[in-house]
Structure 1
């Protein structure tokens, strides 16, 4: 059996990366002879959410409840996950490669005394079980053998698209109240601040993302880029240097320490394409780079490129879009 940790959004639905992880688990289960896929989530049981997960082929939904789960604690979540795993006898424990997913599964691996593979993008042979994972900010792919059982790993965001199963699962809802030691609650979330509305979520789900780097020139150099975003009904994503300089807020950052995106089209403007930024945008279906440097890494990796100053190219693109739309 395969056990997947599913993260739940504040709105109550399974986050996209968790649905991707369940899809990945289902593909793995099919190769392994059709073993069942169960999921673990934290919080009050929800029949509607269980129904959505059932459409992804999930057999059973384990809901971890109790005071220990009122706020996030990586060790407490791991304790519950391990307890469910021990009863179910799963041979694979996995999660999405989010900050929480990686933290919880690191605790799980330590408790079970097995290695953990982070940011897996595909799997290979089953005997021995091998996975391919992203390292060095996604610039290098590494093959890793997971000989111990259970195999513990996280799935990189957008490694596979989230897709419901051809045949739904039962989605049986099971309420779990695992025992959590006080030591597991030493590090936990004690307060949260509400983010500004419609921020990083819009960026990670956008079909078109317009990127901006140091080439924007200053905090006042984004007007044409924002107009292009509006014309394409997209989102703005920026490089780390832009947020470090205070030109744009951090929630717009794309990269290893920002958001990972997978739009239909990414238009990086004035972005050289450092490894850390590439880690966040490499899943884009097509990339149109605008840069003055024909040898910039982003230009050499792009599907298409325009060599020129973004402050000349982008206004021309905007004007042409407006002209064609009348």
Structure 2
């Protein structure tokens, strides 16, 4: 049995990374002869969510509720997941490679006394169960054997493309109210605030992203980049250097400690391409780098590159776009 943690968005729908996780779980299920895929969800499972989980082949949805787990707690939720795992008799426990998924699986693995594999991209057979995962911020790959049970891991963002199952599952909802020790609830979320629409960067779902790095030069150096973003109907993303300097807000940061993106087109401008940033943008289908350094990591890894100052190149691109649009 495979147990997959499904994270919810604030509107109650399944997070895209969780749908990717379910798609990965089905591939693993097929390799194992069609073992069932179950899901664990904290909080209410609405009709729309249940239908989505059914479409992705889920057999049973364990709806975990109760006052103890009403607010997120890494240790508390991990304790609950392990009780669900016992009920479901799962030999695999997995989660999306989100911040929350990483924390939860680390707690689960520690409590179960087994190893954890983070940021898994693929697997190669089940006996032994060998996985390939990202390490060093995505700059290298590592093969790892998970020979203990349960096998605990997270799936790297965009390791697979989310896709419904050919045959839907029943997605029968089973309510589960766990007992959680008080010491497991010492650290827990107190409140959640949603960004206003105009503050949100839309990076995760954007099909085009314009990136800006140290080459912007300062907090006043984003005018042309913002115009390009508007002309392309894109989202603006920045490097860690930019947010650390206070030039732009953190929710625009792309990278290992920011948002991981997978647009059709990424245009990094004045970004050298450190490992941490590359970890967040390497899933882009096409990369067009604009940089003065022809030997920078971003330029050498890009699909296409323009060698030049972004403050000269970007305005020229903007004018050409406007000219062609009349």
**Backbone CA RMSD of aligned residues:** 1.1
Kept in 2: contact 1:45–1:175 (CA 8 A): no
Taking the aligned partners of 1:200 and 1:60, their CA distance within structure 2 comes to 34
Q: Which residue of 2 aligns with 1:81?
A: 81
Name the SS for the 2:202 alignment partner: helix
Q: Which moved more, 1:191-200 or 1:258-267?
A: 191-200
Q: TM-score, normalised by structure 1?
A: 0.98
Q: Residue 148 of structure 1: CA displacement?
A: 0.3
Q: Which residue of 2 aligns with 1:287?
A: 287
Q: Tell me whether 1:322 sits opposite 2:311 in the alignment.
A: no
Pair 1:46–1:87, CA change in 2 (3 A): same
Aligned residue runs from structure 1 range 253-264, under 5 A: 253-264=253-264
For structure 2, list consecutive stretches of 5 or more residues without a partner in the other structure: none
Name the counterpart of 1:53.
53
Asked if structure 2 preserves the Cα contact closer than 8 Å seen for 1:130 and 1:146, the reply is: yes
* Secondary structure of 2:87 counterpart: helix
2:201–2:252 Cα contact (<8 Å) kept: no
Q: Is the 8 A contact 1:253 1:259 kept in 2?
A: yes
The answer (yes or no) to whether the contact 1:47–1:173 under 8 Å persists in 2 is: no
TM-score (norm 2): 0.98
CA shift, 1:270, in A, is: 0.4
| Closer, same or farther: CA 314–141 of 1 in aligned 2, 3 Å | same
Aligned pairs, number: 326
Deviation at 1:193, TM superposition (A): 3.5
Distance 1:236 1:263 in 2: 12
Are 1:216 and 2:194 matched, yes or no? no
Once the 2 structures are TM-superposed, how far is the Cα of residue 199 of structure 1 from its aligned partner?
4.7
CA contact (8 A) 2:4 2:40 kept: yes
Q: Which residue of 2 aligns with 1:170?
A: 170
1:222-241 correspondence runs (5 A):
222-241=222-241
More deviation in 23-32 or 191-200? Answer: 191-200
What SS does the aligned partner of 1:123 have? strand
Mapped to 1, the partners of 2:257 and 2:108 lie a distance apart of: 24
Asked whether 1:251 is paired with 2:232, we answer no
Quote the residue 1:182 is aligned against.
Answer: 182
User: What is the SS of the residue equivalent to 2:256?
Assistant: coil
